[in-house]
Amino acid sequence: MLCESAALIEALSAILPALQRQAIIDDALAAFPTESFERLQKLGLLRAPLPVALGGAGLGDGATGASALLRVLTLLGEASLPVARLYEAHVNALQLVCRYAQDRLIRRCARDAGAGALFALWVTDPPESTLAMHRDGDGYRLEGSKAFCSGAGIATRALITAAMPSGIRMLIIDVEPGTRVLPSPIKLSGMRAAITGSIDLTGIHVPADALLGEDGDYLREPVFSAGAWRSAAAALGGLKALVEIHRGEILRRGRAQDPHQQARFGALVMAYETSRLWMAQAALRACLEDDDAGAIVAYVNLARLAVESACLDAMRLSQRSLGLGAFIAGHPAERVCRDLATYLRQPAPDETLVKAASHYFHTQLPGTARAGAA
Ligand SMILES: Cc1cc2nc3c(=O)[nH]c(=O)nc-3n(C[C@H](O)[C@H](O)[C@H](O)COP(=O)(O)OP(=O)(O)OC[C@H]3O[C@@H](n4cnc5c(N)ncnc54)[C@H](O)[C@@H]3O)c2cc1C
């Protein structure tokens, strides 16, 4: 008998073509992928990141859970980067709840996810102000907003960060669908179906038991930085989609014998395979947490940047090979490149590289046996 995560991957693979077809429609309409999430809910994917004891499939738990979550995120990224991005935030929020929250809040979130609630992760403050949380009776009151919130107006639960005088805290809020979305002049050119906007949280009353962890836990390492492996895994799926689209089109046009096309396709496959190998290791290191925090963070930081670099190379090669056709609105390469280019803009890439470089200036390179290790 298949374990649940293996069965989930099989079931997800089977609906991949349907998710891919839906991604085209959702992008054209800039619409939230409601139908795709209904399918994911039916498969049990919204509860799957929870531990088995809480009704989940343990995605992300241990070595088996790491490779299962990697597979789920890359499959989703291959089908639709906006769906993968939304699902990645859902996983992140539930993992933080399970790590830092009290039992009661964990059970409530597990129940909600099991019932199909999509959790968002809204932690980006607008440049002009930080979301604040003030004492209000036996709870708290929020003042301010969050920016770049995916699932804005649709996600019904969100893990957010808010500033208290003592530091930054995480909390879970309930949001009524269709409410609190600020009219925003920002329109991202890619990832349109992720519905990324600004959310006004002013006036929301937060009960004390909605808080999780201690001050500063959201930024605690290695979890904070190593979590970037999940968005890189989704990007890897987008890269695979691009390679497949590229191959199909070059073959269809009868251009696969041309040495220039062959050379570029060879480089594309190298970019994909390099990313895949980095991600297999990064997923394991991030999920197992069996090394010191600095080593895990440095490795995952490099993996994230290796995937970013491979995706940027792949888009350049693919656009050169496919030509102007790949820029026609509605061409699959146009949509995937637009989504991928947007999604690759993750926080602080320069700092990420420099920090990882500093680490490896003073420690063994990856793959070097540790002193005392068997
Ligand atoms: C599709 C999409 C969906 C998203 N959804 C969410 C969401 O649901 N919730 C959420 O919280 N966030 C979300 N975000 C925002 C995300 O978390 C990051 O805030 C965002 O991606 C940062 O991108 P950036 O390029 O502006 O990063 P930046 O860190 O601003 O980097 C831009 C450039 O500036 C450089 N740089 C950074 N800091 C400095 C500095 N101090 N001095 C000099 N140079 C600097 C960087 O190295 C880089 O070259 C989303 C982003 C995307 C793309």
Q: Are 269 and 119 in contact (CB under 8 A)?
A: no
The DSSP bridge partners found for residue 120 are: 158
Judge if the beta carbon of residue 87 lies within 6 A of ligand 1: no
Query: What's residue 374's pLDDT?
Result: 44
CA of 347 relative to ligand 1 center, distance in Å: 4
CA dist 264 to 23, 27, 82, 256, 341, Å?
27, 28, 27, 10, 19
| pLDDT per residue rounded down to tens, the chain (374 residues) | 457 889 999 999 999 999 999 999 999 999 999 999 999 999 999 999 999 999 999 999 999 999 999 999 999 999 999 999 999 999 999 999 999 999 999 999 999 999 999 999 999 999 999 999 999 999 999 999 999 999 999 999 999 999 999 999 999 999 999 899 998 767 899 999 999 999 999 999 999 999 999 999 999 999 999 999 999 999 999 999 999 999 999 999 999 999 999 999 999 999 999 999 999 999 999 999 999 999 999 999 999 999 999 999 999 999 999 999 999 999 999 999 999 999 999 999 999 999 999 999 999 998 886 655 44
The rounded Å distance from CA 144 to ligand 1 centre is 19
Task: Decide if 321 contacts 95 (C-beta within 8 A).
Answer: no
Q: Where are the domains of the chain?
A: 4-117, 121-216, 223-362
Superfamily classification of domain 121-216:
Butyryl-CoA Dehydrogenase, subunit A, domain 2 (2.40.110.10)
Among 32, 124, 157, the mutation site with the greatest number of ligand 1 atoms within 8 A of its Cβ is: 124
Model-wide pTM > 0.85:
yes
| Ligand 1 binding pocket includes 191 (Cβ within 6 Å) | yes
| pLDDT at 21 (0 to 100) | 97
Q: 325 C-alpha vs ligand 1 centroid, how far in Å?
A: 30
Q: Which CATH architecture has domain 223-362?
A: Up-down Bundle (1.20)
For the structural domain made of 4-117, what CATH number should be given? Answer: 1.10.540.10
